[in-house]
Amino acid sequence: MAQHDHDHGHDHAHVDTEEHELTYYEKRIIAISNLLIDKGLISSQDLLNVLKEMEDTTPMVGAKVVARAWADPDFKQRLLQDANLVMSELGIALQRFRVLKVVENTDSVHNAVVCTLCSCYPIPLLGYPPDWYKDETYRSWIVDDPRACLSDMGMNVPANQDIRIWDSTAEVRYLVLPQRPAGTETMTEEDLAQLITRDSMIGVGRTLSPDELSVAADG
């Protein structure tokens, strides 16, 4: 990300497009950002600060929270009861939204998250949202036929397991607490975190098994 001075005197931020073709959403972001800078509503430094913040947040932040919940029952209960307080204790700032709710997958309930209006997403915990999360197809299909949508994404939820869909808003974001895989009883929190995928914390994918982690490490 670099700065570029245009003839009309405004300082722009722009993306180097030589290495890859921009996606539809990247083009929209650039156009909107330049418009806001032109109108003086934000500065290029404001934009760069946001991008730096996004670079510093990855799904591993959320994975470490989930791993601790798996390993510490007391922490897990506090997380489910008041996630905001727990995030504050961990030094994780919930910027641009007020409330975080953690919803737990169980043998009888599977949770998944969507934002039906736009792309509200817990960036401090999961990093920047994937393109499919912002796509209208996902946003409508996961609500209209969640079991079919999840199946299409490779997440086959058993028929005896209810599916609950949580709709994020500008004020409230959700994090799915996946079920702990079998055979992980002796694993450390650090190793457990490696099993937890971004999609499992959205509810559209599963965690890795210890065997899959070993194969990935060997590869």
For residue 118, indicate whether it is catalytic: yes
Other beta carbons within 10 angstroms of residue 112's beta carbon come to: 25
Cα dihedral 50, 56, 58, 63 in deg (nearest 10): -130
| Measured distance CA(170)–CA(154) in Å, rounded | 28
| Measured distance CA(194)–CA(199) in Å, rounded | 13
| Measured distance CA(49)–CA(68) in Å, rounded | 30
Q: Which of the residues 43, 44, 108, 118 is marked catalytic?
A: 118
Checking 100-103 for CB contacts under 8 A at 24+ apart, the result is: 100/125, 100/172, 100/173, 100/174, 100/175, 101/166, 101/172, 101/173, 101/174, 101/175, 102/69, 102/174, 102/175, 102/176, 102/177, 103/164, 103/166, 103/174, 103/175, 103/176, 103/177
- Overall size of the chain counted in residues: 219
For residue 120, indicate whether it is catalytic: yes
Q: For tokens 């997403």, name the residue.
A: 121
For residue 140, indicate whether it is catalytic: no
Label the pairing between strands 109-114 and 162-167: parallel
For residue 200, indicate whether it is catalytic: no
Q: Which of the residues 43, 88, 108, 115 is marked catalytic?
A: 115
Catalytic residues: 115, 118-120
